[in-house]
Amino acid sequence: MKRIWLLFAQSVTVLLAALFVVATLKPEWLNRSSLLPTLVPVVESPGTAGAPSSLPATNSLRAAAKAASPAVVSINTSKAPENAPQSNDPWFRFFFGDQNQGQPQAGLGSGVIVSSAGYILTNNHVIEEADQIEVILNDGRKAAAQVIGIDPETDLAILKVELTGMPVITLGNSDALAIGDQVLAIGNPFGVGQTVTSGIVSALGRTQLGINTFENFIQTDAAINPGNSGGALVDINGHLMGINTAIYSRSGGSMGIGFAIPTSTARSVMDAIVRDGKVTRGWIGVEPQDLTPELAESFAVTPGTGVIITGVLQNGPAAQAGIRPGDVVTHVAGKPVGNVAQLLSAVAALTPDTQAKFDLVRKENKLSVDIKPGKRNLPKPQASRR
């Protein structure tokens, strides 16, 4: 028995020694042996024998990009160089030469086709003061654009081009967006061509940024860069949720904080411009102020549930309806207002010369008044457009 165990031990030792020598000097011999690891089979799609199938696309945003991208256009603008004030003086030209050799100023941006009739939504600052505007479709077609109307207070503009068979984006419900929703930003950053970036909705209802008079921005971390202005912010279905407008940046490039005008705002502006050629807003003639916790306590209201009126224009719509300094406005036409931006937007949405109900708190008493708003005038005259 002892002799058998000795023989067995010697055999195992020799076998291990042989394996060691082979693994050191001829490792490829082992790849042909039964010591190979088990291979994972590749699942083949029907009709694609021998070719690996594509990865599951359940998390892909390709469908949204495919649906929305054709309706996003590039916008190129140009402006003639400004002449020197004395350029027509022959003595000035004799001593200083011809000063009219400046180069035209060029600009670029993006836009979104919102109607088969050729209407395009973009930012006002994209086409502001431009002498010529050219729209380039994703399929390569080009056309000169006509400015139908502008709204500087929301930084929106409506263009029109005369082309047939234009792709149209589907307008979505931006009011249904929630923080964390996936979105795509589509535009023409830096003039490199159409680009799609993805991210999420970082915040909603951003105001007091000092960008526009009326602010209610969607904030996103989808990369937005110069040239993206006027482009589309779309959801996972490819539906338009906003018009990309601005970025927060210290370097001029994207830092993951971009802002878009909601489709709800853009739709109302577009409808008014197409219908009337301009946007008409309500005005009541008051000077509002946000309620601080101290003011809210002194007026016996909950902070964030109203706006205090600190000044009333004599003979203005609010004064004629009986509004007084110190009143706290809590609702406009049934909609709650929690800050000055919300009050401004709610009043602007009112139809001039049509009475609207305002809910107030006055010396701890609740009351309602009917105000017939007037027509809001632009803070500065609109420049002519071509």
Using alpha carbons, select from 315, 300, 313, 317 the residue that is nearest to residue 360.
300
Three-class secondary structure of residue 337 per DSSP: coil
Q: How far apart are CA 356 and CA 219, in angstroms?
A: 31
Contact 245, 261 (CB under 8 A): yes
Per DSSP, helices labelled H in the chain are 2-25, 27-30, 62-68, 90-96, 124-127, 263-276, 293-298, 317-321, 340-348
Contact 188, 232 (CB under 8 A): no
Three-class secondary structure of residue 1 per DSSP: coil
Q: How far apart are CA 26 and CA 71, in angstroms?
A: 62
Query: Residue 18 forms beta bridges with which residues?
Result: none
Tokens of 357: 């109900």
Q: How far apart are CA 366 and CA 220, in angstroms?
A: 39
Question: Left (φ > 0), alpha (ψ -120 to 50) or beta: where does 65 sit?
Answer: alpha
Give the Cβ contact number of residue 236 at 10 Å. 14
Three-class secondary structure of residue 205 per DSSP: strand
Our measurement of the distance from residue 298's CA atom to the centroid of its chain's CA atoms, rounded to an integer in Å, reads 40
Q: How far apart are CA 309 and CA 371, in angstroms?
A: 15
Residue written as token pair 């807003």: 281
Name the maximum alpha-carbon separation found in the chain.
Answer: 126
Tokens of 151: 């709204």
- Residues recognised as catalytic: 125, 155, 229
What amino acid is encoded at 20 in this protein? F
Our measurement of the distance from residue 17's CA atom to the centroid of its chain's CA atoms, rounded to an integer in Å, reads 70
Question: Left (φ > 0), alpha (ψ -120 to 50) or beta: where does 62 sit?
Answer: alpha
Q: How far apart are CA 144 and CA 106, in angstroms?
A: 15
